[in-house]
Structure 1
Amino acid sequence: MPEGKAAFREVLPKQGKGAGGRLPGSRPGAARRSPATLLFPRAGQLAVEDAPAMVLCKPKVLPLKSVTLEKLEKLQRAAVEAMEAAEAAAAAEGAARSQP
């Protein structure tokens, strides 16, 4: 069901009439005097809007670094170290040539 859409479910009211067809605790003719009185059907079907709630799943544990990422970082460190060693050797060789 898409989010934001409400589902309707049917609610069946209780059958029968109690207290002569009136709601319990109401006076005869009270519905005519007070426009705020709620009237509930005694027979038939009643539709109630049921809004969907978010269902959260259990959190999944993910590794901080994958094995592949660790291998790539190791290769990169080795390449940087090799480049630094080559630069140091070239600098040492250049320094040795410049001194007579």
Structure 2
Amino acid sequence: MSQLMDNSAEKIDVILPRQILLYQEENLDYILCKPKLIPLKSVTLEKLEKMQKDAELKMREAVEYSNENNNE
């Protein structure tokens, strides 16, 4: 059976390059993209600051209200 395959196999001609050296040039270039803006404050920090300001405002209102009631 191997003889049948040998006889029926096609012959492939080997093509050798005329020059001995073969090389491929690779140019590495930088790929520039848009800069990504990073917020100076995180969302969590902004929420905490807002909560603190609200708490301070409520404390001031409570102090003013108590001062008004004591003066009367």
TM-score of the superposition, structure 1-length normalised? 0.35
More helix by share: 2
**Higher RCO (Cα < 8 Å, 6 or more apart):** 1
TM-score of the superposition, structure 2-length normalised? 0.48
